[in-house]
Amino acid sequence: MADEWHGALHHVRAGQLTGQTGQTAGMTRLEAVSGKTVGSSKIWMGQTHVAPGTSSGDHHHGEAETAIYVVSGRPVFVFAEAGSEVRIETEPGDYVFVPPFAPHREENPGAEEAVVVIARSSQEGIVVNLPGLWPGRAG
């Protein structure tokens, strides 16, 4: 029972996810748990769908830490390190951690849709689209 010390649980059904969040080209982000949907104050959670043969634009998630769980497909996560592009190839069951302000993109080179569940340390789904992975230069 909810009272001043114990909040009520919220149930968000799969069909209730909303796409009213920051979007990046090549991806569809669906919001499940957020300040807008359930009144959370410290966490955002949802899922992202990447169509076969596509990739997101380069982006980061501001000050939020991001944890990703691969549900289906074999998405690839791309980021820059020491002037080189690094690719993390994943499969269902894998997890990826993205630190705050880390430029990256998701790719789906496979023939099936890739679906991932995302949790962020912010109540909202922050998406900052970028011209490239390297600050100050495109590409």
DSSP assignment of 56-116 equals: PPSEE-TT--EEEEEEES--EEEEEETTEEEEEE--TT-EEEE-TT--EEEEE-SSS-EEE
Residue-level pLDDT at 1: 59
More confident position, 60 or 26: 60
Residue-level pLDDT at 47: 92
Please report the domains of the chain, with CATH numbers, ordered by start residue: 29-124 (2.60.120.10)
Give per-residue pLDDT as tens, 61-107.
899 999 999 999 999 999 989 888 999 999 999 999 999 999 999 99
Residue-level pLDDT at 12: 83
pTM, two decimals, is 0.82
Residue-level pLDDT at 136: 57
* Pairwise CA distance, residues 139 & 130, whole Å: 10
Residue-level pLDDT at 135: 65
Residue-level pLDDT at 10: 84
Give per-residue pLDDT as tens, 100-131.
999 999 999 999 999 999 999 987 667 888 88
Residue-level pLDDT at 64: 92
Give per-residue pLDDT as tens, 17-40.
877 766 666 678 888 898 888 888
| pLDDT greater than 60 at residue 137 | no
